[in-house]
Structure 1
Amino acid sequence: MTYLDERSDPSSASDVLDFFYATRTQTEKLTAPLSDEDMGLQSMEDASPPKWHLAHTTWFFEEFILKPHLPGYHPKDDRFAVLFNSYYVQAGPRHTRSKRGLLSRPSVTEVTSYRAHVEDALREAMIYDRFALEQDQLNALITLGCHHEMQHQELLVTDLLHALSYNPLLPNYITPQPAAVETPSETSWTSYDGGLLEIGHEGTDFAYDCEGPRHRVWLDPYKLANRPVTNGDWIAFMKDGGYDTQTLWLMEGWAVREQNGWDSPLYWWKQDDQWWTYTLQGPRPVDLTAPVVHVSYYEADAFARWSGHRLPTEAEWESAAAHTEIDGNFLESGSYMPVGRRDGLWGDVWQWTSSAFSPYPGFRPPEGAIGEYNGKFMVNQMVLRGGSCATPKLQMRSSYRTFFYPHQRWQMLGLRLAADQ
């Protein structure tokens, strides 16, 4: 049995172990098409090499489960504690983030061996009940580790896209799939009454600490577009001078646009009077009906202003999504690019909101290094909702908050319009 297609959390030790192996297997599936040279690529400080993702997600299980809770555990290599720590200050020193691509050693083979070492130790300790920790606490930690790894599955493919985009050969990560020919749907709107509502995670299933506590918010009546903004919509914005009209932009956004020379989404270029884009399926003509992707918050905000609408708040998005089916183009579909062509709130692209990533009322991070997971990032970042074609479906729930800096574009970032009633 696999839990990657289930909506409830595993509870028994056997189920948790199945969940662990299903998650680990999915990560290895993502790296299967890559060469050793691909595995070491790092194109910028924000991104990490695939090999590092493999090792860091292994380090997480070792650092937070095996080392503190398995008596007699012996790490495969003590130096890995430094090499593969990301930002956990309380866990000790860290290798410089911008230099992860310089780690030609350990090799891919050694990292694979490291993964097997940790997996075998965890499995054996689970089977023979050797952990010095209550079963429910152990289950919670392993489940957290699996969800952490699923986050890195998404980062792995988007970091890889950024790295491969610098190759003049424009290589494809997977075999290109035929693009469907569809007629773009007209934008329609769904109205919501608003009122005094509750948002934030509820129940006992897994959620990150930043998704709670559940709390009340007041929403005035509002409406949301039935679909994300499409490439066709975006080209209309570009043709109308959207990238050249300063009054559409936030002051900081305009400065970033000028500094970087933005005149289109990331990975776009014009060739023979047609827009093209680079994807993990290689170069492709821009699909006018698919959701626009790889746009920053600044660009999304400028587009919304140009359209005469606005971005939704995260409370509006969550309230609208709370009772809708989680359906869309997620990581498991294997396309690794937005396809759209349907109504719905979920999948294809993350959707920028106008809400800053900040703590909910009453938020308190957990004690220890685990508490550094989200709380330390609650400044200068914006919340996105809805998941993307690079997000594992099991990660998604209406309360899920991802967050990025407003200038960032390399993730699968798009937008949906909102308006007041």
Structure 2
Amino acid sequence: MISKNKLLNLFTNTRKDTEQICSFLETEDYVVQPVVDVSPPKWHLGHTTWFFEEFVLKEFYKDYVLFDDHTAFVFNSYYESVGEKVVRTDRGNLSRPTVAWIYSYRKHVTDAMMKLFENTSNFSKKMLEVIEIGCHHEKQHQELLLTDIKYILGNNPLLPHYNLTFKENPIQKYETEWITVPAGIYEIGHDTDSFCYDNELGRHKVYLQDYEIANKLVTNKEYLEFIEAGGYKDVLLWHAEGWEWVNINNIKSPAYWHHIDGKWQQYTLQGLKDLKLEAPVTHISYFEAFAYSQWKEMRLPTEFEWEIAQKNFDWGSRWEWTESAYSPYPNYTKAPGALGEYNGKFMVNQKVLRGGSVATSKDHTRATYRNFFQTQLRWQFTGLRLAR
């Protein structure tokens, strides 16, 4: 379990990091919500603040005074047991509260949290755990902030840059090799006393058949070959639902790709750039990852195959689609109360992704981390690794 001093450092650094991400924005950028999956940056700032107010200060700080009576209604996300909330699709309609108001709210809650640290000599185990979850919850929203900001600016017809120093397309400077894993019984799941989410717990054994997995992510160059070979037009490569998605939405390439004057370019957080052919492909859906693997006459790894092999390859620049449905591990137990809504209720109609991405906050991912998205989503930095 984390110590009080380490938790204080984690809390203060996490709060600063969130505001550093937003420091590159103009005021108008904070309010935009182009689609339901993207939340306005100011909402992220308020929601991560409300989490500490709702689950820490109201519970453990007896003299805490609410900043405003409406914060829960505006900034609750999906915690149904906490109370009424603004409909998710309406977050971008809130011109009020203002950005300045939200920064004042953040300061109010952060200051109260600092007083809690100063005035409480002995933190209970429960208090330590909830604050630690709150910090990692905010780190998740730091990643969402970056990907939502990219969607907001990347769908602006001017394609403005966010941050000229943000590097999102690292190159794996080595040849593809195949890692062989023999058949056998392997243990899966988190197995230390360091932080993890409840969906990683329930360490258990699985039997895996012989398989091979690539040491390298699929690159833009390799994915471009799929496009040029007519991959988006070949119905035999796609799930029925994926084929419907391709045709209804007129999908012809990964998100943020633009074919301009005969060459491929990609919108990045640095603005529009020539497509880096050797960089890992990103912003693809599960449907596209599956179709590509079919075209290569291979497949996606399961999350268990990925976890067992991950020590043998580099990971962390892209969230990697797996062939595993998001479901509970054996003996999975939800946390009591509203925090039990954090993971368990989403274990349906989603696929597991493993690894992390260039947008993932420092010290936030690990080999057992189970991210999860619906099959059509691709606004996150999602890519793929092949198995056979």
Report the TM-score, using the length of structure 2 for normalisation. 0.97
- Determine the C-alpha separation between the residues in 1 that align with 2:334 and 2:170: 48
Given that 2:183 and 2:208 are in contact with CA atoms closer than 8 Å, whether structure 1 keeps it comes out as: yes
Given that 2:171 and 2:280 are in contact with CA atoms closer than 8 Å, whether structure 1 keeps it comes out as: no
Q: Which amino acid aligns with 1:141?
A: V
> Deviations along 1:12-69, whole A, 9 cap, x unmatched?
x222111100001000100001111011111111110111101100000111011122
Q: What percent identity do the matched residue pairs reach?
A: 48
Where in structure 1 are there 5+ consecutive unaligned residues? 1-8, 325-343
Q: Kindly indicate whether residue 251 of structure 2 is the aligned counterpart of residue 292 of structure 1.
A: no
> Deviations along 1:141-181, whole A, 9 cap, x unmatched?
11100000000000001011111112121100011679999
SS at match of 1:90: coil
Paired position in structure 1 for 2:335:
366
Give the 3 Å change call, closer, same or farther, for CA 179–385 of structure 1 in structure 2.
Answer: closer
Most deviating of 381-390 and 13-22 = 13-22
Paired position in structure 1 for 2:175:
186
Number of positions where the alignment pairs a residue of Structure 1 with one of Structure 2: 388
Paired position in structure 2 for 1:407:
376
Paired position in structure 2 for 1:341:
none
- Determine the C-alpha separation between the residues in 2 that align with 1:105 and 1:75: 18
Paired position in structure 2 for 1:237:
226
SS at match of 2:202: coil
SS at match of 1:196: strand
What is the Cα deviation at residue 140 of structure 1? 1.1
SS at match of 2:363: helix
Given that 2:170 and 2:279 are in contact with CA atoms closer than 8 Å, whether structure 1 keeps it comes out as: no
Q: Which amino acid aligns with 1:417?
A: L
Written as runs of structure 1 = structure 2, the 5 A alignment for 1:1-400 is 10-11=2-3, 13-129=4-120, 134-175=123-164, 185-321=174-310, 323=311, 344-400=313-369
- Determine the C-alpha separation between the residues in 2 that align with 1:40 and 1:111: 12
Give the 3 Å change call, closer, same or farther, for CA 264–199 of structure 1 in structure 2.
Answer: same
SS at match of 2:206: strand
What is the Cα deviation at residue 265 of structure 1? 0.4
> Deviations along 1:399-420, whole A, 9 cap, x unmatched?
100000000011101000001x
Q: What is the RMSD computed on CA atoms of the aligned residues?
A: 1.8
Give the 3 Å change call, closer, same or farther, for CA 233–283 of structure 1 in structure 2.
Answer: same
Following superposition, which runs of at least 4 residues in structure 1 exceed 3 angstroms of deviation?
A: 176-186
- Determine the C-alpha separation between the residues in 1 that align with 2:70 and 2:167: 46
Report the TM-score, using the length of structure 1 for normalisation. 0.89
Where in structure 2 are there 5+ consecutive unaligned residues? none
Give the 3 Å change call, closer, same or farther, for CA 277–97 of structure 1 in structure 2.
Answer: same
